[in-house]
């Protein structure tokens, strides 16, 4: 085993939520009469902390309006959340990695309450040793989530691997000195991910599972 600790992003990496997130961002803007970001702009913010996400998705949005946008976003997302599926093969992959002896963790732009709800909806909570969310520490692309997880779980940069679907995941890993693998089936285009030189850029959970089996 080369990497004792495997840290997964959540949205767009393990669960097929990127499209729902984009739709909910756009719907919140429509509700409030704000400029509606296109798909590319809305998907770019997936994984970021709240302030960074809103500042990019809706340029010029006054901080006093953040609460209204968040309220409308949550209204739409909570209605869809229970039906958002894991990517096919995700649970089997994670169970196999745990059985093999890897320690699994999550680093996500979700809130703690949002991740707790998602883990309960999917039944995956028992597979993960720990997690960090955007409202617990400095969010991606800062290294804090990975640094805190490594400190808590007793691992070092050389035996930790980050797996994610956005440039924010890869930048966080680079800032923490942790190697990373990208998946191109989530929020960000493959070309953007490849530009940050991950160890690999996989196109399906099946490809990711095979890569981890051979290399992790």
pLDDT tens digits, 116-151: 999 999 999 999 999 999 999 999 999 999 999 999
- CA torsion 120-146-179-3 (nearest 10°) is -60
Q: What is the pTM of this model?
A: 0.94
* Whole-number Å distance between alpha carbons of 76 and 81: 9
* CB contact at 8 A, 175 and 107: no
pLDDT for 155-172, tens place per residue? 999 999 999 999 999 999
- Cα distance between residue 182 and residue 127, in whole Å: 21
| Distance between CA atoms of residues 37 and 150, nearest Å | 36
d(CA 107, CA 184): 18
Quickly tell me which residue has 């919140």 as its tokens.
Answer: 28
Q: Which residues are catalytic?
A: 9, 11
Question: Mind listing the pLDDT tens digit for each residue in 3-47?
Answer: 999 999 999 999 999 999 999 999 999 999 999 999 999 999 998
Q: Is 82 exposed, middle or buried (0-12, 13-18, 19+ CB in 10 A)?
A: exposed
Element (H, E) at 90: helix 90-100
């Amino acid at each position: 085993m080369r990497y004792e600790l495997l840290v997964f992003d959540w949205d767009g990496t393990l669960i097929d939520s990127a499209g729902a997130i984009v739709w909910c961002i756009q719907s919140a803007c429509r509700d409030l009469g704000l400029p509606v970001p296109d798909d590319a702009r809305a998907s770019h913010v997936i994984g970021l902390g709240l302030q960074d996400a809103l500042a990019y998705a809706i340029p010029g949005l006054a901080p006093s309006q953040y609460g209204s946008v968040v309220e409308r976003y949550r209204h739409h997302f909570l209605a869809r959340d229970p039906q958002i599926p894991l990517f096919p093969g995700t649970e089997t992959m994670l169970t196999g990695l745990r059985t093999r002896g890897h320690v699994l963790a999550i680093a996500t732009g979700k809130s703690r309450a949002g991740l707790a709800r998602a883990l309960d909806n999917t039944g995956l909570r028992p597979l993960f040793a720990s997690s960090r969310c955007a409202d617990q520490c400095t969010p991606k692309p800062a290294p804090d989530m990975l640094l805190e997880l490594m400190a808590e779980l007793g691992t070092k940069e050389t035996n930790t691997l980050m797996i994610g679907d956005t440039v924010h995941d890869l930048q966080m890993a680079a800032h923490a000195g942790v190697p990373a693998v990208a998946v191109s089936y989530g929020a960000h285009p493959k070309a953007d991910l490849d530009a940050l030189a991950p160890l690999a850029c996989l196109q399906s959970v099946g490809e990711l599972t095979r890569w981890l089996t051979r290399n992790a």
